[in-house]
Structure 1
C-alpha cells in the first residue's frame, strides 16, 4: 500500500512539474507572439503541441504566427485543425483567415465554403457585404487580368527586396541583402536581417534597374527602413522605420517596438538631415508606408491606430504650409475593411493603389485601385487590378508612372529569388472600372402585342451559366438585378404554349437601364379566312432583286413554310398578294407587282401545290400600310413596310 501511495505521489509530482513547465513555455511563447517575434513563438508552440498539449487558443496563435508571416500553407494546416476540432471556439475571423489560406493554395471553391460560414458568423462585417455583392469576384478579376506585362527585376537578391519609390533618375527600395555584413542583429519576426534603403539607376524607356548602392547613411539605421516617398523636387523624403529616435529603441506598454513614419530634408551639401518622427506617430501603434497626393499637400499612410476598422487602415493627413500636420482621417468603409489595407500609392492620374486582404482577391494581399475624389459612382469603385500583378500570395507596394506606363510592385509569389521580390511591369491596357447595368423590358405576344404574364425571364452569361431568373408580373414587365458593363448576356423568355425566345445582349460601358423587349410566339396559332399566313407564320419579308420578279434563295426559305402549312391542310386556298412602295411610276409598280405575284404562285405550284388552290394578284402601291404614298417624305424603313407579300386565306 505504501508502495502504491508512493507511486501516486511521484506521478503527481511529475505531472505537476510538466504542467508548470508548460505554463512557463506558454507564457514565453505568448510574450514572443505579442512582440511579433513569430519565429521563436512558432518553435515554442510546436514543441508544446508535440508533447500532446493542445487547445483552441494555442492553435489560433500558432496559425496566426504563420499567417502574419505569409506562410499560408503552414497556417492553413493549423487553422483547419482549429476549425475541425474546436469550431465552437473559433471566432468568425478564423474562418476568414482559413479561407485566405485556401485561396493562397488556389482552392477557390473550398475558400468560398468557408467565406459563406464567415458571413453567417459576422453579418455586420464589411467583408461579408463585399462577398455578398460580388459572388462572381473571380470573373471580375479575370476581366481585369492580362493588362500588365511583368518581369522579375534584375536587382533582386536571395534576401528580402520590396517597396520601391521613384526618386529623380533612381528607384529607391528596401532590402536586407547585405546588412548582416555590418550588423549581427536578426529580426525575430522572420529570422532575416534588418532592412536598409538602397537605390538603383532607373531607365524609363525599359524599366531596367542597375548600379545598386546603399542609400544615404543618415537615413539608414540599425533597424528597419522601408517604403520611402519623395517630393517631386527630391528635397523631402518620408519613409518607414522602427520606433528608433536618438539611438533609443522605443517600445509600447507590452514591450513591442512599433513602426513610425519619419521625414528628412535634403541639405545644402546634398546629404540629408537627421530624420524626425512625425507628430501623429505613437509608441502605442504603428504608422507606415507613406504616400503623397499629387499636390503634395496630403500624406497617405497605413496604421493600426485606435478607431480603425481592421488590422490596418489607410489614412490621410493634411501637410500644413509650415510643415506641421493636421489630424489623421480614416479613408472610410469604401476602402478600409476589417482586414488589412496597406501600402498606399497615388499616381499622376490621382488613382489610389493599395494592397488589401479584406477586399476580394486571389489570396494573401492583392493590389486594388480606386479614384481619389471620384466624380462618378464608377470612379468610386474599388477594383482588383487582376493577374499577373496579383497572385495567390502577397502582392503589394505597387507604383506606376502613368506617362510611361511602367512601374514596380513587390510579391512573395513562387518562382522568385528571395522571400520578397521586386517585379517591374509595363501596363498594356487601361484598367476598366466596373459599372452596373440593369436590363428591363416588356414581354408581349408577338401577334397581338399584348403583355404576357407568367413568363420566366432568365439571364445567362456567355458560358451559359444561369445568373438569375425573374417571374414576370401582371404588367408583363421584368427587371434584372445589377449586371456588369461591357459583358455579353443571353436573356431568355419561357412560357407554356409559347416558343422560347432568347436575345443576346452586349451591355454598354456606362451605367444605365437597358431596354430589351421580348416578343413571344404561340406554338399553336389559329388562322381563319381573311388572315395573312405571313403574319401567322411570322415570315421574314420576301424580297425580290431590283426591277426583277424571280424567286431569290432567301425567299425560297420563307415560301417553304407556307408550302408546308398548305400540305398539312389540303383544303386550304390562298391568294398571293404582292405590294410595292410608292417609288417609281404607278402603272409600272402595278405591272411589277403582278409579275411578282405570278412568279410566287408558279414557284409554289412547282413545289407540289395544286394550281386550283392558289391565285395571285399585284396591288402595286395602292394599299400602303402607312402614309408613305406619292410625294411623301418617309424614312427608308417606313417605305420598306409597304414592300411586302401577303398570303391571304380564302378557304
Structure 2
C-alpha cells in the first residue's frame, strides 16, 4: 500500500487513472477491488465499473452493475436512460451496418484524432511531434505538445501530405479540435491555458483548456483571440460551428454543467461578439462525459458520450437540433462505435464521406483516425410502437375494421390505422413525454378511448379499447336476430319447447323491445322438410305460440307481439327432403325469427 493512503484511496486513484485514460481493462481490476472494500462507496464507481466491463465486452455483468447503480441513485440521468432503454443493444444493432470504414495510413504511433473539414483539406490533432503515446485526450490535463496538422484528401480517400500548421497556431501547448468557417477565413481551436505561448496552470497545477479564434489575413493566421466565456477554473474545448456559422457548440465543465463535461451552444453575433453560453439540456447531457460536438448542414448534432447507453467507452451519438421538445438521441451503431472509445465524428452529408477517431484494437497508434462512407442515412425520426386490440365490450370478441387514432394532449392526430381481422392494431406513436388518447370508431358501436402515457420514448403495448354496441332502431321488415347480431333461436327435431341456448337470444330481444317500447314484432317460426306439409304447419304454429308466450310471460305486452307459423315454406338452404342433408343442416331451418312490423 502507498504510504499515507488507504486501500480504498489507492483503488480509487488507480481505477480513475486508468479509466480517464481509456485503459478500461486495467480500470475494471481496480474498481472491482474498490467495490469489495468495506464502508460507503461513491455510486459513481459503480457506473465506471459497469462502463469498464462493457468496454471489455462483458455486457451481462455490466448490466448487473447498472441495475445496482440505478438502485443506489436517485434522479441520475444515466440510470433513467438505462432503465428506460433496457433493449438498447437491440436498438444499436438496428442502427448498425450503415458505414464502410478503414484505418488511414496517415496515422502515427502516437495519438491522432479530432479531424475537421477546411475546404478540401482535413485538419487534425496529433501527438506525433512529442512521441507521447499515452491516451491523453479524454481528461482535462496538463500534458503538452499536441499539434495541429493539415492533410490533403486523395482520390482514394486517403489523407496524404500531412504538414504541420503555422507556428502561430501551434505553440508549446495542446492545440486540437478545430472548426473552420465556410469561407476558411476564421478558425476556432482548443488550446491549453497559456502565458505567451507556454503552459499556464491553476492553483491545482492543471492547465485548463480554452477555445481561441484566429483569422486569416493575406495567407497568414493572425489576431488570435481568447473567447470571453473561457475561464481559469474550468475548461472549454472542442468547438463546432452551425451550418450558417452563427452558433458555436463546445464541451465544458463550466458552472451549470450536469456531469464531467457537457455540451453548450453560444450565439456568434454579426459584430463578432458572443452571447451567453447555454447548456444543451439533460436530453443530451448526462452526469458523465459529453464531448466532441459536430453539426451538419441539416442541423444534425453528432457527439461523443459515455453517459448514454452504448457499446463501451465513448460512443458516437446523433440528434436533430432546433426544437428542444423533439430531441431524440440515437447511437449511430457499429462499426463506427465499438467497445472502446469512439469520438470526434465528422461527416459531409453531400458526399456521404467522413472521419472519426478511435482507440480500438488494430490501430497504428493509441488513437487513430478512420475514414468512412455512409451507405444509409441515420434514422433520427423518433417513433414509439403503440399496439393493442379493439374488443366488443360485452362479449370480449375482437373487432376488425375499427378506425384507431392516437391523439396528443392538444387533440392533434399523431397516427391512425384500421384494426386487423383479429382486432389488433399497431401504430407509430409520438416520442414526446405526456398523455395520449387512443380512440376507436366502428359502425354500430359507440366510440371508445383509452388514455396512455409515454415517458422517455418507451413503447406502449397491450392497450385494450372496448366498444359498446350502439342501440339503434331496427327498420320495419328486419329480423331482430340478425339486426342485433344474435345467435338464432333453434328448436329440436319435432319439438316446440324453448331450448336453454335460445333463452339468451330471447332475453336480448326482450331487452331491446323494452328500450324501444313502441315497436311491434311478429314471431315467424319454421320447420325443416323432414315431415309432411300439414304436420310441419302445425309444428311451426306451436313453435310460434311457445316463442310468443316466452316473451309475454316476461313482460312484453300482448298487443306488441304476434306469432305465425310458416312450416317448411321458407327454408334457408337446399335441404328439401329428409335425405338431402345431414341433420345439422336441417337444424338451420328449425327456427324462430322476430320481424319488425311496426
Residues 530, 649 of structure 1: 8 Å contact kept: no
User: Please, which of 378, 387, 394 is the counterpart of residue 439 of structure 1?
Assistant: 387
Match of 1:341 in 2: 290
Match of 2:539 in 1: none
Determine whether 1:169 maps to 2:116.
Answer: no
In structure 1, distance between residues paired with 2:51 and 2:117 = 32
Deviation at 1:213, TM superposition (A): 1.4
Deviation at 1:247, TM superposition (A): 3.0
Deviation at 1:207, TM superposition (A): 3.4
Structure 2, unaligned stretches of length 5 or more?
399-403, 407-418, 441-462, 467-485, 493-500, 502-571, 592-598
Residues 146, 387 of structure 1: 8 Å contact kept: yes
Relative to its length, the structure with more helix (as a share) is 1
Residues 437, 507 of structure 1: 8 Å contact kept: yes
Deviation at 1:264, TM superposition (A): 0.8
Residues 135, 367 of structure 2: 8 Å contact kept: no
Per-residue CA distance 1:16-54 (angstroms, 9 max, x = gap): xxx9x823xx5xxxxxxxxxxxxxxxxxxxxxxxxxxx5
Match of 1:121 in 2: 72
Decide whether aligned partners of structure 1 residues 503 and 395 sit closer, same or farther in structure 2, where only a CA change above 3 A counts: farther
Residues 387, 426 of structure 2: 8 Å contact kept: no
Deviation at 1:121, TM superposition (A): 1.5
Supply the RMSD in Å over aligned alpha carbons.
Answer: 3.8
Q: Secondary structure at the match of 2:490?
A: coil
In structure 2, distance between residues paired with 1:288 and 1:615 = 84
Q: Secondary structure at the match of 2:25?
A: helix
Pairs aligned (count): 448
Determine whether 1:271 maps to 2:216.
Answer: no
Deviation at 1:246, TM superposition (A): 1.2
Match of 2:7 in 1: 55
Q: Secondary structure at the match of 1:65?
A: helix
Match of 1:469 in 2: none
Per-residue CA distance 1:298-333 (angstroms, 9 max, x = gap): 111101112211000111112222322222111111
Decide whether aligned partners of structure 1 residues 230 and 84 sit closer, same or farther in structure 2, where only a CA change above 3 A counts: same
Match of 1:95 in 2: 46
Q: Secondary structure at the match of 1:59?
A: helix
User: Please, which of 17, 27, 37 is the counterpart of residue 65 of structure 1?
Assistant: 17
Q: Secondary structure at the match of 1:85?
A: coil
Residues 168, 234 of structure 1: 8 Å contact kept: yes
In structure 2, distance between residues paired with 1:89 and 1:502 = 55
Determine whether 1:359 maps to 2:308.
Answer: yes
User: Please, which of 142, 152, 167 is the counterpart of residue 201 of structure 1?
Assistant: 152
Residues 142, 386 of structure 1: 8 Å contact kept: yes
In structure 1, distance between residues paired with 2:465 and 2:57 = 41
Per-residue CA distance 1:568-605 (angstroms, 9 max, x = gap): xxxxxxxxxxxxxxxxxxxxxxxxxxxx976xx89xx9
Decide whether aligned partners of structure 1 residues 251 and 613 sit closer, same or farther in structure 2, where only a CA change above 3 A counts: same
TM-score between the two structures when normalised by the length of structure 2: 0.67
User: Please, which of 220, 223, 233 is the counterpart of residue 284 of structure 1?
Assistant: 233
In structure 1, distance between residues paired with 2:331 and 2:68 = 23
In structure 2, distance between residues paired with 1:403 and 1:184 = 35
Deviation at 1:248, TM superposition (A): 3.9
User: Please, which of 1, 13, 22 is the counterpart of residue 3 of structure 2?
Assistant: 22
Determine whether 1:138 maps to 2:86.
Answer: no
Residues 186, 193 of structure 1: 8 Å contact kept: no
After superposing the two structures, state which structure 1 stretch, 508-517 or 138-147, moved more: 508-517
In structure 2, distance between residues paired with 1:187 and 1:151 = 23
Residues 259, 288 of structure 1: 8 Å contact kept: yes
In structure 2, distance between residues paired with 1:514 and 1:159 = 61
1:515-554 → structure 2 map (5 Å cutoff): 529=490
Structure 1, unaligned stretches of length 5 or more?
1-18, 27-53, 454-476, 480-490, 493-500, 520-524, 537-595, 618-646
Residues 288, 301 of structure 1: 8 Å contact kept: yes
TM-score between the two structures when normalised by the length of structure 1: 0.62
1:156-555 → structure 2 map (5 Å cutoff): 156-180=107-131, 194-203=145-154, 207-268=157-218, 270-273=219-222, 275-374=224-323, 377=326, 380-433=327-380, 434-444=382-392, 450-451=395-396, 507-508=427-428, 529=490
Decide whether aligned partners of structure 1 residues 206 and 381 sit closer, same or farther in structure 2, where only a CA change above 3 A counts: farther
Q: Secondary structure at the match of 2:220?
A: coil
In structure 1, distance between residues paired with 2:329 and 2:135 = 38
Decide whether aligned partners of structure 1 residues 613 and 115 sit closer, same or farther in structure 2, where only a CA change above 3 A counts: same
Decide whether aligned partners of structure 1 residues 124 and 612 sit closer, same or farther in structure 2, where only a CA change above 3 A counts: closer
